[in-house]
Structure 1
């Protein structure tokens, strides 16, 4: 017989990730609402989390990372894709590469036009501004004093990153000093989520300050096993901690913020999903909703690797003397290469001038690692020669995948089927975009620094060879979303409505990247945190309405 303990709160938040930390912090601000957070991971007090470049160590860390793999994917030539997801306070905001990108205004306007009132860019801009503590020049587009530190890195970036930005201008892609401002298109230096040389995650910005409040409690190392229902109303959560089963009831609502993988997984484990598949796994069906786990989207990308004729970060982070010097500098000043991401410069451009908006994201890293083991990122073990990488990814992939639990065991990872490149248009735009990489490499500012192209190599020129290289070397950019799609009509595949309430279920909302109807342009952590801000606002509004 298993032991159980029971308790309750006004709001139960499942997941202390990018959105969940925000929801919990904002809902507990009034000092009256009891808020409980249930997080499967543990503490974020780790060097690999707090030191910005430490994300290389968190990339495959068993305590900080779920370390998911997809099923063999036809688009990747039968390879599995590695999906690092944060299993720690702060979620993936605690282990990501910290690049801060809001997305394009048109991304959100399309969400609103699809039947989601309140989700246009004009509606969401106040939430983006509220969450930011932007250290750059003030403007009507940017926020100051918010929980998430955001900084420009142009002054600290490697000289080759400056050469890349110059090459972009030479190739016809003008400099954009703030791609999170009026317009995203153009090239420049990435903004990153750090403050005073330390990572600024959703946990450090929102959750840790809020934990001083008596009305907020956080349970870590607590794996949610299922949601609890009375009829069609969610009334609580069951979870496992220290080998014991616990339940917690929600007097008002349960907010599921477990991420694009775990939110649909928990819904399916709880009986909300494809009825036939759930019954085959021995799960009692609460609501037949095949859309749970569908509409899976992700960015994919690849790098072209070059040998340089001048020092790169390989020369700093490779030899022990360089690492020790960088470490001492970081300890003394919280500055230098260890205070940054290796993704230093990039941009958002069109693969074809006829396109209405940018569809390709550029990445520049003044470091290379041609011998990387699949599923592992060895930022402190770069190539022994000076090298760098120019990469691309697609901003708005059309391919759609799905994920589903493989058993009723909550600890078993789900089946993940990204179906990368299943829409031929995605492959076509990536093939077209490879010409951009070589155009940049041939621009005077870059060409002057290049000894040779290592991968894929100058002989890879034909469409057939480029396609083969993409299928062989492309990877996930680690931006899964869309698996609990927001929309007005459950019959058309929507899981939640515009107020993030699960269609057909009372007392339950989803608030994380899984609700994205379509993926946003660029890294998705900023819109994930914004979703937490928007969700908290909606929940407070609904709580104040007369019954």
Structure 2
């Protein structure tokens, strides 16, 4: 064992790990080591918001995981990129800032995550952020994470989409991260002064000036070292050399929903038969490790646009060059936004208590990675059913840490998930058919007007749906037989070992996962340090009082096509 001893070792400098590195070194009392497999995030393609598709699809910055053939998606293998760079997935994601619905966190507590209900997590959301319009009962005004609305919906298509939602009888929301998620409104993003505001920029960079924080990059962690049922340190490899470091207090895994369960399994913690088949000595049997895997799916609903206002006009090399030069010189313009500036959260049917469908609106028609645009103007909606019942797994295949795990989400295995996507198609057509979209709405490109029946919709979805890149829940928090960590984020049955990242979510929230992952790390830091919890406010939540009887509050101006 090396003489380099630390109080805490954090594995993974991602959305959670950077938060922990900052908070655990704040008072100077503890010596902390942060290990990251990737390298620097100082790339224009990471820092410029509009370039978001590049780092996600670059091996240098992201693990390019691929699922096994998904049996309910016509055996397609699905792309599952995860951050491999300082900032982790917050350095490669779409920068969309969605906390989730208040009831998502009440659901966590009902699943056994005591102390993680909405009222108790809200103070940590506030602690993390500085909302561009200032703080209130729901929003923070002095946190590390900058949050804004990009270019404030200057493109007319954004507001037309919001008006169409209201035309269709849905609510409008002034702040979906505040009292009322349900409805249509402006979308928020983690961008500050025109730059991607990852957790590396927000949390890690300020902390790196502290003498009690050591950051080691290009370090592939092989396993957690154990003395009986106690975690004592980690073994990692850097530049071909294997090293061991000790933690006198705790080892904290923040390697994400693929990396953390895989690392537990490599360390001999997990399901006995799985570990034995992989040639790994069982140190602690914990059957839930790698189970309960969840994700969001989405597809692109695309239309031609009848007015010359879409971003399809900005996709040629000359316009891209101008956008890039302006961003380099001024950090503003189209280079300073992720282009998802309006959104919607709706319920798929009566009897659904809180929203389970989410819209990201984009004033262009293209793939998420920027490919396959077409000539002319267009717009699209990313739409998905966000409360899936299907469950998958992350399973170690070998004792070799360089061999990726088996990943399968079992997407759309559950009939309720297939029903949710049928609702996505039919409800979206009705929204876009409203008067507010009349001057912009052209022909439907995808799915296409011939896709109408349940069978046709199901076939389209199986072929067109893509991951929204929100893997989670694979080391769930709780007290049931499949729970991996307790409500204090400690691994059941193992001393001095925690998991703090999106893998410990009991269920996936209705929204993008960067914001709740940061919240989890903020609250976990207080738990680790033994601090009293932040005072829970009495924050009301606006919901449709008649949710049991109706799918939306109002009547559509134009009936469903």
| 1:444 pairs with 2:435 | yes
| 1:378 pairs with 2:367 | no
Cα contact 2:130–2:146 (8 A) shared by 1 = yes
* Cα distance change of structure 1 residues 444 and 262 upon mapping to structure 2, 3 Å threshold: same
Match of 1:398 in 2: 389
Alignment of 1:507-522 (within 5 A): 507-522=496-511
- Displacement after TM superposition at 1:24 (Å): 1.1
CA distance in 2, matches of 1:282, 1:324: 52
Match of 2:517 in 1: 528
| 1:422 pairs with 2:426 | no
| 1:239 pairs with 2:236 | yes
Match of 2:262 in 1: 265
Task: Give a deviation string over 1:351-408, Cα, whole Å, max 9, x none.
Answer: 1133211111112111112xx5xxx7126x7333211112211121111011111111
Cα contact 2:56–2:83 (8 A) shared by 1 = no
Unaligned runs of 5+ in 2: 534-561
- Displacement after TM superposition at 1:137 (Å): 4.5
CA distance in 2, matches of 1:543, 1:10: 21
Number of residue pairs the alignment of both structures matches: 533
Alignment of 1:159-174 (within 5 A): 159-174=156-171
Match of 1:488 in 2: 479
| 1:498 pairs with 2:495 | no
- Displacement after TM superposition at 1:542 (Å): 7.4
Q: Secondary structure at the match of 1:66?
A: strand
- Displacement after TM superposition at 1:154 (Å): 6.3
Q: Secondary structure at the match of 2:63?
A: coil
CA distance in 1, matches of 2:321, 2:426: 39
Cα contact 2:129–2:146 (8 A) shared by 1 = yes
Match of 2:9 in 1: 12
Cα contact 2:478–2:485 (8 A) shared by 1 = yes
CA distance in 2, matches of 1:53, 1:301: 20
Q: Secondary structure at the match of 1:152?
A: coil
Cα contact 2:253–2:498 (8 A) shared by 1 = yes
Q: Secondary structure at the match of 1:187?
A: strand
Match of 2:47 in 1: 50
CA distance in 2, matches of 1:65, 1:312: 33
CA distance in 1, matches of 2:190, 2:531: 31
| 1:285 pairs with 2:282 | yes
| 1:309 pairs with 2:306 | yes
Cα contact 2:161–2:437 (8 A) shared by 1 = yes
CA distance in 1, matches of 2:156, 2:330: 20
Match of 2:178 in 1: 181
**RMSD after superposition:** 1.7
Match of 2:78 in 1: 81
CA distance in 2, matches of 1:352, 1:260: 30
Cα contact 1:299–1:393 (8 A) shared by 2 = yes
CA distance in 1, matches of 2:297, 2:347: 16
Cα contact 2:313–2:377 (8 A) shared by 1 = no
* Cα distance change of structure 1 residues 240 and 99 upon mapping to structure 2, 3 Å threshold: same
Cα contact 1:314–1:384 (8 A) shared by 2 = no
Cα contact 1:153–1:189 (8 A) shared by 2 = no
CA distance in 2, matches of 1:435, 1:543: 48
Alignment of 1:408-419 (within 5 A): 408-419=399-410
Q: Give TM-score, length-normalised by structure 2.
A: 0.92
CA distance in 2, matches of 1:161, 1:202: 28
Q: Which residue of 33, 38, 41 corresponds with 2:38?
A: 41
Match of 1:158 in 2: 155
Task: Give a deviation string over 1:99-149, Cα, whole Å, max 9, x none.
Answer: 100111111112122332221111111111000011024321100121100
Match of 1:459 in 2: 450
Alignment of 1:85-164 (within 5 A): 85-153=82-150, 155-164=152-161
CA distance in 2, matches of 1:137, 1:100: 16
Task: Give a deviation string over 1:198-234, Cα, whole Å, max 9, x none.
Answer: 0111111101100000000000010000110001000
CA distance in 2, matches of 1:62, 1:11: 29
- Displacement after TM superposition at 1:6 (Å): 5.0
Task: Give a deviation string over 1:306-331, Cα, whole Å, max 9, x none.
Answer: 11122344444322232233223323
Task: Give a deviation string over 1:64-89, Cα, whole Å, max 9, x none.
Answer: 01011111101211101111111001
CA distance in 2, matches of 1:309, 1:137: 38
CA distance in 2, matches of 1:138, 1:227: 41
Cα contact 1:198–1:339 (8 A) shared by 2 = yes
Cα contact 2:153–2:342 (8 A) shared by 1 = no
Cα contact 1:6–1:246 (8 A) shared by 2 = no
- Displacement after TM superposition at 1:5 (Å): 5.2
CA distance in 1, matches of 2:526, 2:340: 33
CA distance in 1, matches of 2:308, 2:8: 53
Match of 1:60 in 2: 57
